[in-house]
Homo-oligomer: A and B are copies of this chain.
Amino acid sequence: MEIKKLDLIDCHNRIKPFIHNTPVLTSSYINEITGAEVYFKCENFQKMGAFKMRGAANAILKLSDEQKCNGVVTHSSGNHAQAISLAAKKIGIKAYIVMPSNAPEIKKEAVKGYGGELIECESNLEAREAAAKDLVHSKSATFIHPSNNLDVIIGQGTASKELIEQYGSFDHILVPIGGGGLIAGSALVAKYFGDNCSIIGTEPFEVDDAYRSLISGKIETNITTNTIADGLRTQLGDKNFPIILDEVKKIIRITENEIIDSMKLIWQRLKIICEPSCSLPLAGIIKNKDEFKGKKIGVVITGGNIDLDNIPFLRQFFITP
C-alpha cells in the first residue's frame, strides 16, 4: 500500500482530539554554538509523555467496530505500552499489555494508571510474543506493533507535520532512529509537505542497524544493544524500511559520550526533562556543524518518561566522579 498525502491529512484530523499540538522551543545559546536555527518540537509534553501517543491513537481509531469491541494487544515495556493504554482508554476500548515480570515497577504502574490490563510473562522475546499471540487468539484482540505498522508510522509523522505547519519550511528535520516508525512517518511528511526538506536520522554507534541497512539495502540486525539511549535498541521492520530506503539519504551515528553531553545541554538550556534518545539529533548537529551552519532545522524531542528516582541513571548523566 502506497501512502498518499491525503492519508497523512486524514490521520492528523483523526487523532487531533486525542493529542496535544506540542510546544516548540528554541535556544539562543544553542543557535549560537551551532550556527544554525534549531526548532525543538517537544513531544515530551505530549499526552503520556511521548510521540508514541500519535501512532497509537491512529492505529486504534482506524480499527473496525468489531475490532474495537475485542480490544488491542501489544508487548512493550516502554512508551508504546503507555500510549496504547491511554489511547485505548480515551477511545473507550480494552488494551492488553504484555510485559516481562521483571520490568521496573514504575513502568507497570504507568500502564495500569493509564487503564491498560497488564499481562506478565517471562523476560525473553519468545515469551512476550507467545503471550501476545495467546491474547490475539483467546480475546480476538488486534496486535499493534510499536513501529512496524503503517497506521502507527503515519501517526508518528504528524509531529513533523505540525512543525512545518507552524514554522514554515525547514532545510532538515532530524530524528532519532529506533524501530523506524518515527523516521518513516517523518520522511513521508517531508515528501508531501516539506519544501525540499530532508529527513536525517541519528542513531547510536552501538546500535547502528539502520545506518548499515541503508548501505546494504536490506534490514540489518544488532549484535549488542549497549546504549544508554534505551528507546533506540530496537530494529527496523519490513513496513518502515522500504519508506526509509526511498526517502532517507543520511543517518548520523552518535557516540555514548556525545549522547550524554547533548542531553545535559538540552536539560540545562531548554529547561526540559527528556529521555536520552532525544539528545541524538542535537549531538548530530553539533558534530557536523559545517554542514548545518546557516540551516533551518527541526528536531523532534521524542519523550520525557524517565525515572528521576533512578539513582544510576542520574549518576551516569549528571554526577561526575
| Interface set, chain A 261-300, CB cutoff 8 A to B | 264, 267-268, 271-274
Does A309 sit at the interface, judged by CB under 8 A? yes
Does A64 sit at the interface, judged by CB under 8 A? no
Does A6 sit at the interface, judged by CB under 8 A? no
Does A25 sit at the interface, judged by CB under 8 A? yes
Q: A273-B273, A314-B319, A318-B314 are in contact. Are A267 and B308 (CB under 8 A)?
A: yes
Q: Which residues does chain B contribute within 8 Å of A44, judged by CB atoms?
A: 271
Does A39 sit at the interface, judged by CB under 8 A? no
Closest chain B residue to A305, Cβ basis: B271
Docked complex Cα distance between A264 and B307 (Å): 10
Q: A23-B23, A319-B314 are in contact. Are A274 and B271 (CB under 8 A)?
A: yes
Q: A23-B23, A308-B264, A314-B319 are in contact. Are A271 and B271 (CB under 8 A)?
A: no
Docked complex Cα distance between A319 and B319 (Å): 11
Chain A, 301-321, contact with B by CB distance < 8 Å: what is the 0/1 string? 000100011010011001110
Asked if residues A267 and B273 are in contact (CB atoms below 8 Å), the reply is yes
| Interface set, chain A 1-46, CB cutoff 8 A to B | 23, 25, 28, 44-45
Docked complex Cα distance between A37 and B318 (Å): 34
Docked complex Cα distance between A315 and B314 (Å): 9
A residues bordering B, Cβ < 8 Å? Answer: 23, 25, 28, 44-45, 47, 49, 264, 267-268, 271-274, 304, 308-309, 311, 314-315, 318-320
